[in-house]
A and B are shown apart, each in its own frame.
Chain A
Amino acid sequence: MALKTVTLGGKEIEVDEDGFIQTPELWDEAVALDLAKQDGIAEMTDDHWEVVNYIRNYWLKFDIAPLIRRLCKETNKDIDMIYDLFPNGPADGACKIAGLSTPTGCT
C-alpha cells in the first residue's frame, strides 16, 4: 500500500492512497476539518459533527467502526441523510474524517 505524508490540521501526517490517516492518535478537529475539505465538504455542520463524533467515540470504545444501521439509528439519520452529509459515504467519507483507518472489508 502506497503511503504519503500530507499536512492536515497543521500537522505532517501519513495517509494511505485513499487518504485515511495512518496514526489515529494524531487526529483532532483541525485534522477532521481538513479531511472534510478534501472530500468537498465546505462546512462541517452540527449534523456532520454528530456523525463524526459518534463514529470516533464508538471506535475509541470498541476499536472498530459501528455498523452502518447502528450509526443511522443512534444519530437519528437515515442512510440518504448520511450520504447527503458525506458524499463519499459512511465508510470512505465519515469514517475517514473521524480518523479511522481504511475499512478492511474484502475486495
Chain B
Amino acid sequence: MSDFIYLDNAATTFPKPSGILESALEFYQKYGVNPGRSGTDLAQEAEAVVAEARKSFASFFGATGSSDRLVFTQNASDSLNIAIQGVLKAGDHVITTCLDHNSVLRPIYHLAKYDGVEATYVPFDGAGYIDPNAIAQAIRPNTKLVVMSHASNVLGTVQPVAEVGAICQARGVILCVDVAQTAGVLPIDMEDMQADILCFTGHKSLMGPTGIGGMYVRECVDVAPLRYGGTGVRSEYPDHLDEYPWRLECGTGNLLGIAGLLNGQKWIAREGLGNIHAREKALLQQLVNGLREVDGVILYCADNLKDHVPVLSLNVAGMTANNVGTLLDVKFNVATRTGLQCAPKVHELLGTKDLKGTVRISLGPFNTEAHIETVIEGLADIASRHGKG
C-alpha cells in the first residue's frame, strides 16, 4: 500500500530508519554468540557491544553512576514490573497517577489485591497535567514509591517529573519514571529529574526493534530480583548475584535487540533529537490548527502544546472511537490507535470510556505535512458524513 500513512508511533515507531535493522543483523551474523559467557574473542566482541550499549544509554539518560546499573529488559512493561514488584512489599504505600499505563496500574493493582500494598491514584487537571503538590499531599509515612509516566501515552502531556522528584527526594520516597513516550523524543536527565529508577522501551522513539528495553537503577536504590538464573559469572554460587546488571538480568540477553537499540540511538544522534522533536511538534501544531476548524471534532487537552510530545487524542461527535479509526484506515489509509490505549483511568477522567476511548494520532520522524493534510481532510469527511456534530 504505497500511500499508507502511519500515525501510531506512540505504539511503536514505523518504519524504522533505514540501516538500523540491517546493520544489527550484520553484526549478529558476525558476532551473534553468547556475550560474556566464554573467554573467546568472539564472545568478547559481542560483550563489548553490550557494554557499549550500557554506557551509551546510561549517559543518554544522564545517569552519573555506574553503567552496570543499566539493565536490559524486554520492554518498558517488563522494566516497570521489575521495578514495582522489586521495590514494594506488604505494608508499603505507592503513589501513581490516573495518566499512567496498565504497565504501571496492573502490577500495582496486583500487589494491592494480593500482597498488602496500598495505592493512591492522583488525578490530572483539565489540561492533562499532574499537580506535584497533589503527589506531596498523597505521601504517607509508609509511602515507599512514586511511579509515574514522563508523558501521557493518551494525551501527550509532559509531566512535571523534576518537581515531583524534588518532593520525593525531600521526603525519602523512591521515584520511578516511565519514559516509554519520551525516550528519544525529549532530553532526559535522571539527575535533573531526581529519578531513582528510569524505565524505557527500545521500539518506540529510540528506534530499536521490539523485544528490547531497559531500566536504570541509581546506587541509592535496590530493586529485588523477580527472576533467578544463569549469569555467566560465579556459577558456583547457589544464590542469584546481588551485583548489577546480573541482579536484574538472567539468562542470555537479546543481543540482536541491543545492537538494534544502539544503532537507533546513533541514528538519533546523527539526526539530532531536538531537530526530530521540532519537526514533529510543528506537524502536531499543524494538525491541531487544522482540526480546530473541523466541525464535530473534539480534541482533548490540546489547548496549549508547549509541554507536549506529538500525541493527540480526539473524537468525532456522535461516533465511537473505533468507528472513526476504521474509516480513517479503510477509506483514507491512515493508521491510528483507537480505544483506551491501555490507560483506562485517563478515559474515566476524560469521560471517554463510553465512547470506547479516543482516536489517538501519534507522529513520528517520517510523517509529513501532506500526511497531516490527509488526516484533517479525512476527519472532516468522517465528521460530516457519519458524525452528529
Q: Which applies to chain A's interface (DSSP): helix, strand, loop or mixed?
A: helix
Contact of A72 with B323 at beta-carbon distance under 8 Å, contacts A80-B385, A107-B340 already known: no
A48-107 residues with Cβ-Cβ distance < 8 A to B are 68-69, 72, 78-80, 83, 87-92, 105-107
> Are A105 and B326 touching (Cβ within 8 A)?
no
Interface size of B as a range = 10 to 19
A88 — which chain B residues lie within 8 A by C-beta? 320, 323
Contact of A91 with B322 at beta-carbon distance under 8 Å, contacts A80-B385, A106-B342, A107-B357 already known: yes
Contact of A68 with B342 at beta-carbon distance under 8 Å, contacts A89-B322, A89-B323, A92-B323 already known: no
> Are A79 and B327 touching (Cβ within 8 A)?
yes
Contact of A83 with B339 at beta-carbon distance under 8 Å, contacts A72-B330, A107-B356, A107-B357 already known: no
Measured CB to CB, the closest approach of chain B to A56, in angstroms, equals 19
In this complex, which of A88, A89, A92 has the most chain B Cβ atoms within 10 angstroms of its Cβ?
A: A89
Q: Tell me, yes or no, whether B113 is within 8 Å of chain A by CB.
A: no
A96-B50 Cα distance, complex, nearest whole Å = 50
A88-B342 Cα distance, complex, nearest whole Å = 23
A90-B386 Cα distance, complex, nearest whole Å = 14
A72-B341 Cα distance, complex, nearest whole Å = 27
B342 — which chain A residues lie within 8 A by C-beta? 106-107
Measured CB to CB, the closest approach of chain A to B296, in angstroms, equals 15
B331 — which chain A residues lie within 8 A by C-beta? 78-80
User: Which of B320, B330, B340, B357 is in CB contact (< 8 Å) with A79?
Assistant: B330
B322 — which chain A residues lie within 8 A by C-beta? 89, 91-92, 105
A31-B237 Cα distance, complex, nearest whole Å = 66
> Are A68 and B330 touching (Cβ within 8 A)?
yes
A68-B322 Cα distance, complex, nearest whole Å = 13
Measured CB to CB, the closest approach of chain B to A71, in angstroms, equals 9
> Are A69 and B330 touching (Cβ within 8 A)?
yes
B327 — which chain A residues lie within 8 A by C-beta? 79, 83
Contact with A along B321-351 (1 / 0, CB 8 A): 0110011011100000011111000000000
Measured CB to CB, the closest approach of chain B to A19, in angstroms, equals 13
B339 — which chain A residues lie within 8 A by C-beta? 105-107
Contact of A92 with B357 at beta-carbon distance under 8 Å, contacts A83-B327, A106-B342 already known: no
A102-B338 Cα distance, complex, nearest whole Å = 16
A52-B340 Cα distance, complex, nearest whole Å = 28
B330 — which chain A residues lie within 8 A by C-beta? 68-69, 72, 79
Measured CB to CB, the closest approach of chain B to A2, in angstroms, equals 14
Measured CB to CB, the closest approach of chain B to A107, in angstroms, equals 3
A83-B338 Cα distance, complex, nearest whole Å = 18
Measured CB to CB, the closest approach of chain A to B317, in angstroms, equals 14
User: Which of B326, B338, B340 is in CB contact (< 8 Å) with A90?
Assistant: B326
A105-B327 Cα distance, complex, nearest whole Å = 16
A91 — which chain B residues lie within 8 A by C-beta? 322, 326
User: Which of A68, A69, A83, A105 is in CB contact (< 8 Å) with B386?
Assistant: A83
Measured CB to CB, the closest approach of chain A to B289, in angstroms, equals 27
B385 — which chain A residues lie within 8 A by C-beta? 80, 83
A78 — which chain B residues lie within 8 A by C-beta? 331
B338 — which chain A residues lie within 8 A by C-beta? 107
Contact with A along B354-379 (1 / 0, CB 8 A): 00110000000000000000000000
B320 — which chain A residues lie within 8 A by C-beta? 88-89, 92
Measured CB to CB, the closest approach of chain A to B106, in angstroms, equals 14
Measured CB to CB, the closest approach of chain B to A13, in angstroms, equals 23
Which single residue of chain B is at the shortest CB-CB distance from A90? B326
A92 — which chain B residues lie within 8 A by C-beta? 320, 322-323
Binding site for A on B (CB under 8 A): 320, 322-323, 326-327, 329-331, 338-342, 356-357, 385-386
Q: A79-B326, A83-B327, A88-B323 are in contact. List 16 more A-B contacts (CB 8 A).
A: A68-B330, A72-B330, A83-B323, A83-B385, A88-B320, A89-B322, A89-B326, A90-B326, A92-B320, A92-B322, A105-B322, A105-B339, A106-B339, A107-B338, A107-B339, A107-B340
Binding site for B on A (CB under 8 A): 68-69, 72, 78-80, 83, 87-92, 105-107
Selected A-B contacts with CB under 8 Å, 23 pairs: A68-B329, A69-B330, A72-B330, A78-B331, A79-B326, A79-B330, A80-B385, A80-B386, A83-B323, A83-B327, A83-B385, A88-B323, A89-B322, A89-B326, A90-B326, A91-B322, A92-B322, A92-B323, A105-B322, A106-B342, A107-B339, A107-B340, A107-B341
The 5 A-B residue pairs with the shortest CB-CB distance, nearest first, are A107-B339, A89-B323, A79-B330, A107-B340, A79-B331
